[in-house]
């Protein structure tokens, strides 16, 4: 199952991928007499995905609930219960920053939901940084509120996967590594979407390739199998110290970051999950 958030004339709606089109949740509800959602976060937290998929599959006329025009995507949702980031999970990214890769546990940080943007939105470069980087990542979306999950049981609490662009005020970190939370916290510094893909759509998670692309040039690319700490390990490790609420998004680390400037176009490509694109602009004074 593939889900997205669509921008519409009346606000935002959930989209469900169907052959050749996107079914719109509000139209599905009106046609089938159901009350799913109304947001993607609601679907995740209420455990409605399987029933929604069955309802859509049973509709006699998909054309009555679907759009076939070019969609306008929003972020998957705007207020994740937690937006947790993992850093230096590939050797290449440690080299980007000129630091040693952690050997005992990954670097990590919590960021505010005010960082969240979606596909097609502008990344705003803040005046407090002269060197901002963008990095493509695989995002893990937690589907079941959990704590103390064993890594081998992690698949049971994962709702799906999304594509993520993670921005960093890199010069801030170079001044003092303790500034990582601030370097990640600027508005527009986390793009999510456009799709959330359930695990049954990903036959081999370890083979999924993540690529950071700036102005059409691939800056870095690698597979999940090259991570030092794989997504299941991360779910187990972090759930051991804090509650992971349903809807939490974990950014699992990047194969490499690219410096971005005013006017650039940045893509995060995650095979089998989605392609996410944003433009870069200077933040107005």
Q: How confident is the model at residue 160, as a pLDDT? A: 98
CB contact set of 203 (below 8 Å; sequence gap of 6+): none
The one-digit pLDDT tens for each residue of the chain (285 residues) are: 999 999 998 899 999 999 999 999 999 999 999 999 999 999 999 999 999 999 999 999 999 999 888 899 999 999 999 999 998 898 654 555 555 555 677 889 999 999 999 999 999 999 999 999 999 999 999 999 999 999 999 999 999 999 999 999 999 888 877 778 899 999 999 999 999 999 999 999 999 999 999 999 999 999 999 999 999 999 999 999 999 999 999 999 999 999 999 999 999 999 999 999 999 999 987
Position 179 scores a pLDDT of 79
Q: What is the model's pLDDT at position 82?
A: 98
Distance CA 188, CA 190 (A): 6
What lies within 8 Å, CB to CB, of 264 at 6+ separation is: 214, 215, 279, 280
DSSP classification of residue 219? E
Strand 116-117 to strand 190-197: parallel, antiparallel, or no bridges (unpaired)? parallel
Closest CA to 79 of 1, 12, 160: 12
The pLDDT assigned to 121 comes to: 98
Q: What is the pTM of this model?
A: 0.94
R_g of the chain computed on alpha carbons? 18
pLDDT of residue 106: 80
Query: Per this entry, what is the length of the chain?
Result: 285
Please name the residues in contact with 183: beta carbons below 8 A apart, sequence gap of 6 or more.
129, 168, 169, 170, 172, 173
Query: What CA–CA distance (Å, rounded) separates 236 from 247?
Result: 16
CA distance between the termini of the chain: 42
d(CA 219, CA 159) in angstroms, rounded, equals 29
Pick from 4, 61, 37: which is nearest to 196 by CA?
4
**CATH class of segment(s) 83-282:** alpha beta
Name the residue ranges covered by the structural domains of the chain. Answer: 2-67, 83-282
Strand 11-18 to strand 2-8: parallel, antiparallel, or no bridges (unpaired)? antiparallel
Instruction: Write a three-state SS string for 129-196.
Output: CCCEEEEEEEEEEECCCECCCCHHHHHHHEEEEEEEEEEEEHHHHHHCHHHHHHHCCCCCCEEEEEEE
Neighbours of 166 (CB within 10 A): 27
Q: Is 160 exposed, middle or buried (CB count within 10 Å of its CB: 0-12, 13-18, 19+)?
A: buried
Q: What's the rounded Cα separation, in Å, for the pair 78 and 279?
A: 19
């Amino acid at each position: 199952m593939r889900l997205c958030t669509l921008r519409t004339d009346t606000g935002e709606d959930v989209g469900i991928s169907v052959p050749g089109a996107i079914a719109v949740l509000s139209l599905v509800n009106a046609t089938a007499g159901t009350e799913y959602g109304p947001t993607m976060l609601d679907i995740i937290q209420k455990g409605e995905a399987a029933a929604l998929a069955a309802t859509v599959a049973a509709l006699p006329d998909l054309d009555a609930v679907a759009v076939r025009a070019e969609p306008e995507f929003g972020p998957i949702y705007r207020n994740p219960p937690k937006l947790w980031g993992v850093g230096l999970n590939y050797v290449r990214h440690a080299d980007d920053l000129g630091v040693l890769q952690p050997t005992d546990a990954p670097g990590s940080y919590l960021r505010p939901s005010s960082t969240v943007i979606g596909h097609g939105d502008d990344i705003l470069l803040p005046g407090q940084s002269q060197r901002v980087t963008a990095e493509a990542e695989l995002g893990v979306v937690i589907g079941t509120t959990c704590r103390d999950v064993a890594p081998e049981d992690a698949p049971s609490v994962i709702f799906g996967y999304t594509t993520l662009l993670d921005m960093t005020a890199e010069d801030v970190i170079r001044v003092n590594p303790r500034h990582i939370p601030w370097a990640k916290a600027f508005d527009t510094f986390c793009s999510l979407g456009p799709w959330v893909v359930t695990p049954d759509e990903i036959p081999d998670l370890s083979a999924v390739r993540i690529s950071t692309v700036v102005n059409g040039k691939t800056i870095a690319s690698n597979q999940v199998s090259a991570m030092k700490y794989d997504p299941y390990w991360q779910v187990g490790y972090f759930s051991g110290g804090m509650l992971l609420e349903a809807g939490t998004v974990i950014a699992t680390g990047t194969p490499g970051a690219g410096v971005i400037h005013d006017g650039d176009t940045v893509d995060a490509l995650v095979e089998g999950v989605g392609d996410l694109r944003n433009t870069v602009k200077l933040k107005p004074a």
